[in-house]
Structure 1
């Protein structure tokens, strides 16, 4: 098995990848990257943007959280985190919906930004209400978003939903809260949270 190095911060989207790594069950080493410190040379060589999460797996570099989740599902097929290739329509659809339209919609809401109606066509999600309607449709009546089994799409979409519900940027519609309730206590998710929570910066005592 190739060596896997994971660059992250416990206050970043790296938490999504940590969950995915724990679901996969592979061995990996963590390199913490502080937001207010220079980026390690090895990270900049791999990813000139200096962004986390980034993984180096053997001689392969993968950046962007959704891409890393999809890559890990394929790199470790024994974990069963991707449907068969012929059954991946929903898997790809909702994984990348979460990574682009949904994330932009909730980020703009968190920043207090609202698209003027005559500019909605220029952004990938149209407007916030439409993004919420689409999310509700995706998860209504489903335990998992891409079929009968948990997948990398649930890791990414579930992470977005969990954060959004916690911070008030995703509407707590019954179908959405029910979907998250079915994911939030997965053993790998709880394990990943314990690891990242322990790595959070501690305030200095007064």
Structure 2
């Protein structure tokens, strides 16, 4: 697909996931930094993402928001990068991509906000309990080299980012399984390029005048 591709992002956001995924595809893209506050809530940007949040991508006439959706879309849009298994083998790929987007993120966020459900409430939330989520995740990242099997995929970009951030900021308890998995999936040139680009953007955002 040769349509122009734009990443709308901010270096201190989940846009880092989309940036990493784009670097994995090897495609050319334009980056538009959207600052928090009025720019992110402006009519211009709300026409792209009515939620007023980053990241988002525009690929030709197609707009995609939500990091998991962006990762899945880019894997399909650039199949030559090999970031999604063959269709008949995508069970684990879809399972863990959306496990991270649903139960994992919700459980960690609720705990960080002091809103863990009690035993009676656990049946009403999609993840049940944070303990169940983390036990499930620990087993999953230990089963294979990568989350969907022997090959790196978009699911590793998304799930790996959650684990990496959790370990870095303390929202996820460190354990050998999580640390080893993060070391495996982040040891990639595309990740290093993406991280370098975002760090540079963060410095520019903090010092826009170059003083």
Whether the TM-score (by the shorter chain) exceeds 0.5 is yes
1:134 aligns with 2:140: no
Specify the SS of the correspondent of 1:46: coil
Q: Partners in 1 of 2:206 and 2:137 — Cα distance?
A: 35
What's the offset of the Cα at 1:42?
Answer: 3.8
Q: Partners in 2 of 1:107 and 1:113 — Cα distance?
A: 8
> Is the contact made by 1:94 and 1:145 (CA closer than 8 Å) also made in structure 2?
yes
- Aligned residues between the structures: 205
> Is the contact made by 2:39 and 2:45 (CA closer than 8 Å) also made in structure 1?
no
Q: Partners in 2 of 1:30 and 1:89 — Cα distance?
A: 32
**Gaps in structure 1 of 5+ consecutive residues:** none
What's the offset of the Cα at 1:177?
Answer: 1.2
Specify the SS of the correspondent of 2:114: coil
Equivalent in 179, 201, 211 of residue 199 of structure 1: 201
> Is the contact made by 2:4 and 2:29 (CA closer than 8 Å) also made in structure 1?
yes
What's the offset of the Cα at 1:105?
Answer: 1.1
**2:39 counterpart residue number:** 38
> Is the contact made by 1:7 and 1:43 (CA closer than 8 Å) also made in structure 2?
no
Q: Partners in 2 of 1:141 and 1:49 — Cα distance?
A: 37
> Is the contact made by 1:141 and 1:175 (CA closer than 8 Å) also made in structure 2?
no
Specify the SS of the correspondent of 2:32: strand
> Is the contact made by 1:43 and 1:50 (CA closer than 8 Å) also made in structure 2?
yes
What's the offset of the Cα at 1:26?
Answer: 0.6
**1:124 counterpart residue number:** 126
Q: Partners in 1 of 2:45 and 2:80 — Cα distance?
A: 28
What's the offset of the Cα at 1:203?
Answer: 6.2
1:108-152 deviation digits (Å, cap 9, x = unpaired): 222232211111111111111111001011111421000111000
Q: What TM-score comes out, normalization by structure 1 length?
A: 0.94
What's the offset of the Cα at 1:41?
Answer: 3.9
**2:13 counterpart residue number:** 12
Q: What TM-score comes out, normalization by structure 2 length?
A: 0.92
Equivalent in 70, 87, 91 of residue 89 of structure 1: 91
Equivalent in 49, 52, 59 of residue 51 of structure 2: 49
Which range is displaced more, 57-66 or 172-181?
172-181
